[in-house]
Amino acid sequence: TTRTWDYLGLSADNSKNLLNDKNMGDQTIIGVIDTGVWPESESFNDNGVGPIPSHWKGGCEPGENFISTNCNRKLIGAKYFINGFLAENQGFNTTESPDYISARDFDGHGTHVASTVGGSLVPNVSYKGLAKGTLRGGAPRARIAMYKACWYLNELDGVTCSFSDIMKAIDEAIHDGVDVLSLSLGGRIPLNSETDLRDGIATGAFHAVSKGIVVVCAGGNAGPASQTVVNTAPWIVTVAATTLDRSFATPIILGNNQVILGQAMYTGPELGFTSLVYPEDPGNSYDTFSGVCESLNLNPNHTMAGKVVLCFTTARDYAVVSRAASLVKAAGGLGLIIARNPGYNLAPCSDDFPCVAIDYELGTDILFYIRYTGSPVVKIQPSRTLVGEPVGTKVATFSSRGPNSISPAILKPDITAPGVSILAATSPNKNLNAGGFVMLSGTSMAAPVISGVIALLKSLHPDWSPAAFRSAIVTTAWRTDPFGEQIFAEGSSQKVADPFDYGGGLVNPEKAAEPGLIYDMGPQDYILYLCSAGYNESSISLLVGKVTVCSNPKPSVLDINLPSITIPNLKDEVTLTRTVTNVGPVNSVYKVVVEPPLGVRVAVTPATLVFNSKTKSVSFRVRVSTKHKINTGYLFGSLTWTDSVHNVVIPVSVRTQILQNYYDEN
């Protein structure tokens, strides 16, 4: 977070921005359901934070290494939920577990999320000199309530969160009076329906949203494959992850003086010119050789001892880098250069071992240098932080992609925010932490950015519905980076990002503060959605707590008042409706501007919307027809209402399906 907020235009130095206008989110309470919190972190100091908001009804629950005075005016709530986990894992030994049976965070993930969403200002934070700056949350004076429902398990060397504990955490958060609920958790595809308790987050979130609480969830880390996004219920704000305009350039200097800038978090001393090897059979050996990063252990140690090793991998996960570095180090090697496709999950190798990532093209350059040079050598310099231009913004490879596999007409993810190499507070138990701060990547890191922005917006618009906040951030989002350059999306080849990568785009907090128009929704709209999705009336009635009768014929899912239009199966022509509510100047006139998807006709009536003191909301119809004669993929456009001050943009995504319900693999 030492770069996130400046990048998004919420610099603390600018006295006139949303951040400072709304006293940094003071009086807003953000609930976080996660692995707990490290309360002593500087991120949770309450300097300059006012009294606890009067609507707070929660508390600070004591437990192992956690006393009620660990809370303060910043961290106002801390509770833990382990009964479900314990009841199902009776062999779990709470005394032997390294995790704390309290809201105290062992893993560090929850602390990272909490400090990103609403941490106080902490100047001069860095990871061993990298990413230096002032660390802070999106709403630095908002209050944080931690609900710990995720537990570290030795056997997994990871964290697990049971549905029953999460549902209790949501239940308590609703009671305690949180304004925003941030969940950096998720399941996996196939998704469960929204009325099926197997999606406990969707069920709990429904009740939270019905009570005016904005629920923000991570969209998942199963990208770049399509249809992998999770937490897709239309009442949830689902978040994708991008990079920042920041990288950790690491000079690799070859013996022929060619300089290649790789990526690493190498903070050790410069490695002077050292022999460079790509492990391969020299043609006269009975030994086995492998230049594949995962198989470096097949190489005789003497091949790598005292050298920098080049290897290639098709894997994108950091574990491969870490394992390969360990193998090289164990063989007496001095450094590692990994050629791979970008995975956007850079991390330092342990013990400051130099390990640098490059792409296949640069990897092949180095390979040819090795093959065609008598004594190849290389120098590796420490990583440097590169900020701003020319570093472009990318949707991270890992960020889960739409379309939504339950209801493709409901665009997911909704929005994107930085979630790659984010430096924030953590537990001192966390591997690779530096002074209680660590760099992490994931949609887990992007979701609290959106929660923090919504906390600021909530201070400005306390009466808005959760859907209004979603609309405001989606319709005003950047579809370029903040400098006007295109956002790319990593996949099997890099492409220009589209709504299935980033929803409305990259969150633009300043613009979201005054969106002009909003696509509002309330519980009745969610009922319409449930009816349109075919859920039976008795389930819907019990979910919403009142007798519900769906109209006959059923409402169309295309008419759900989302700030997006997604038509997954257009055959001839379809007409849909949206309603916009004026939240700008009372007397306003908006005109429509349509950028239709290629080969698709989009007609909007009326083409002008007039608002005054009597007319706050106006509906319009959108007629969409296709010129295509074949089943196409999704094509993208946009629909904008503009009064020349506000541009209220929604993404339009259309797939022509002449043959319906057809799986194409010809």
Partner 1 sequence: SAKSKVHIVYLGEKQHDDPEFVTESHHQMLSSLLGSKDDAHKSMVYSYRHGFSGFAAKLTKSQAKKIADSPEVIHVIPDGYYELA
Which positions lie near partner 1, rule CB under 8 A? 34-35, 81, 83-84, 87-88, 107, 109, 150, 158-164, 166-168, 170-175, 184-188, 195-198, 200-201, 203-204, 207-208, 211, 218-221, 442-444, 447, 539, 541-546
Q: Please say which residue, 207 or 329, places its beta carbon nearer to partner 1.
A: 207
Q: Of 171, 192, 164, which Cα lies nearest the Cα of 535?
A: 192
Whether the CB-CB separation of 591 and 608 falls below 8 Å is answered with yes
Counting other chains too, the contacts that 292-300 makes at CB distance below 8 Å and 24 or more residues apart are 293/320, 293/321, 293/323, 293/324, 293/338, 293/340, 294/320, 294/323, 294/324, 296/324, 296/327, 296/328, 296/331, 297/327, 299/331
Q: Please say which residue, 86 or 261, places its beta carbon nearer to partner 1.
A: 86
Residues in the chain: 666
Least distance to partner 1, CB of residue 343, Å: 15
Whether the CB-CB separation of 146 and 110 falls below 8 Å is answered with yes
How far apart (Å, rounded) are the C-alpha atoms in residues 564 and 474? Answer: 8
Q: Of 236, 242, 180, which Cα lies nearest the Cα of 507?
A: 242
Least distance to partner 1, CB of residue 32, Å: 12
Catalytic residue among 399, 444, 471, 653: 444
How far apart (Å, rounded) are the C-alpha atoms in residues 522 and 524? Answer: 5
Least distance to partner 1, CB of residue 90, Å: 10
> Is 109 known to be catalytic?
yes
Least distance to partner 1, CB of residue 503, Å: 16
Q: Of 579, 464, 479, 480, which Cα lies nearest the Cα of 513?
A: 464
Tokens of 272: 């002077």
> Is 55 known to be catalytic?
no
Least distance to partner 1, CB of residue 196, Å: 7
> Is 175 known to be catalytic?
no
Report which DSSP code applies to 352.
Answer: G
Which residue has 């010809």 as its token pair?
666
Which residue has 């039976």 as its token pair?
536
How far apart (Å, rounded) are the C-alpha atoms in residues 195 and 574? Answer: 28
Catalytic residue among 34, 176, 559, 643: 34
Least distance to partner 1, CB of residue 551, Å: 21
Residue 132: is it exposed, middle or buried by C-beta count within 10 angstroms (0-12/13-18/19+)?
middle
Catalytic residue among 6, 102, 105, 109: 109
Q: Please say which residue, 136 or 207, places its beta carbon nearer to partner 1.
A: 207
Whether the CB-CB separation of 274 and 248 falls below 8 Å is answered with no
Residue 545, CB-side half-sphere exposure with 13 Å CA sphere: 6
How far apart (Å, rounded) are the C-alpha atoms in residues 401 and 497? Answer: 11
How far apart (Å, rounded) are the C-alpha atoms in residues 17 and 24? Answer: 10
Q: Please say which residue, 213 or 517, places its beta carbon nearer to partner 1.
A: 213
The contacts of residue 134 (CB under 8 Å, 6+ apart) are: 2, 12, 121, 122, 123, 124, 125
Least distance to partner 1, CB of residue 206, Å: 8
Q: Please say which residue, 406 or 565, places its beta carbon nearer to partner 1.
A: 406
Q: Please say which residue, 128 or 207, places its beta carbon nearer to partner 1.
A: 207
Q: Please say which residue, 98 or 158, places its beta carbon nearer to partner 1.
A: 158
Whether the CB-CB separation of 624 and 409 falls below 8 Å is answered with no
Q: Please say which residue, 184 or 341, places its beta carbon nearer to partner 1.
A: 184
Least distance to partner 1, CB of residue 11, Å: 28
The set of catalytic residues is: 34, 109, 444
